[in-house]
Structure 1
């Protein structure tokens, strides 16, 4: 927790009050405005708007999401917001990376060992319900996000909402070490 120029606490609480007045702001923008990390804003969302689990769940989450069909993959930096409607390919975890097969729409690697927290976010955005899974690095900033898709009427796809909620419940019940991952030698993480 820090103190801003006005002498007010900057641990995300003020940002949360602002979220209550204007829930359409991006979490990253609110964090920048308040001089806090994005994870601090997420931690101060209403409890039913967020569930934070250990980053060690990343490989398990990515495998689960690979069965959801097309999702919206988002990379959000201070300079760019890139959105890809795509299906997450089934990948493998090895040597600290989650690797995507080379012959799929998404290729490359995620250094999943750098993922300290995963947040399941359920909050209004642009006057509509939204569901996302956001992956946070040790600096408290978002590595990437996965959003539940919308249908032709801009409503969340019900089947994906069900899968999102089931995955969120499983990850929060499993605690710091995801089930089925121990055999791959993945390290334990702390739940936020």
Structure 2
């Protein structure tokens, strides 16, 4: 059975499981799994647009940044910090909040992913490495009632229609 067919069968059984869980069930990388999702769930951009995208996300307000490692999940909720390139990394900084050093050259693709999760719609930027693994994800923010922030959803959906980062 082709990967697209296997993914469709998983979605038919439980559409709201994570892409990581789906990939593990099928024995493929998360990047391969995401590429096999329905076309209306995912838009792929080239990894070369990562730095420009991250720069624009600093103006979006609260987001949720997720890093999964060895079965553990680390989350940061808040504005995505500004960064700058130096010493081979994109260095995130600022006063408090999320800090780190991103190896942008390792990002092959950016997936703009829209799929249900835990019974609710979700939208995320998924940064996929050369070997098909997920480096990190940035999910759109939610309000106190756990509803997606409408301005972020609107902008995300506009970007999904583009083949790369709009200059808006």
Structural mapping, 1:16-31, within 5 Å:
16-31=8-23
Equivalent in the alignment of 1:163: 155
Match of 2:32 among 40, 45, 67: 40
Structure 1 residue 29: Cα displacement: 1.1
The question of 1:151 aligning with 2:132 is answered: no
Structure 1 residue 102: Cα displacement: 5.3
Runs of 4+ in 1 over 3 A off after TM superposition: 166-170
Equivalent in the alignment of 2:55: 63
For the aligned residue pairs, the C-alpha RMSD in angstroms reads 2.0
CA contact (8 A) 1:12 1:34 kept: no
Structure 2: gaps spanning 5 or more residues: none
The question of 1:112 aligning with 2:104 is answered: yes
Task: Give the match's secondary structure for 1:121.
Answer: strand
- Supply the distance in 2 between the matched residues of 1:74 and 1:63 (Cα, whole angstroms): 17
- Supply the distance in 1 between the matched residues of 2:62 and 2:121 (Cα, whole angstroms): 18
User: Structure 1 pair 126/63, CA: closer, same or farther in 2 (3 Å)?
Assistant: same
Task: Give the match's secondary structure for 2:33.
Answer: helix
More strand by share: 2
The question of 1:53 aligning with 2:42 is answered: no
Equivalent in the alignment of 1:122: 114
CA-to-partner distance for each residue in 1:116-145, whole Å, 9 max, x for gaps?
Answer: 010000111111110000000111010000
Structure 1: gaps spanning 5 or more residues: 1-7, 180-192
In the alignment of these two chains, the number of paired residues is 167
Larger Rg computed on CA atoms: 1
User: Structure 1 pair 173/84, CA: closer, same or farther in 2 (3 Å)?
Assistant: closer
- Supply the distance in 1 between the matched residues of 2:157 and 2:11 (Cα, whole angstroms): 23
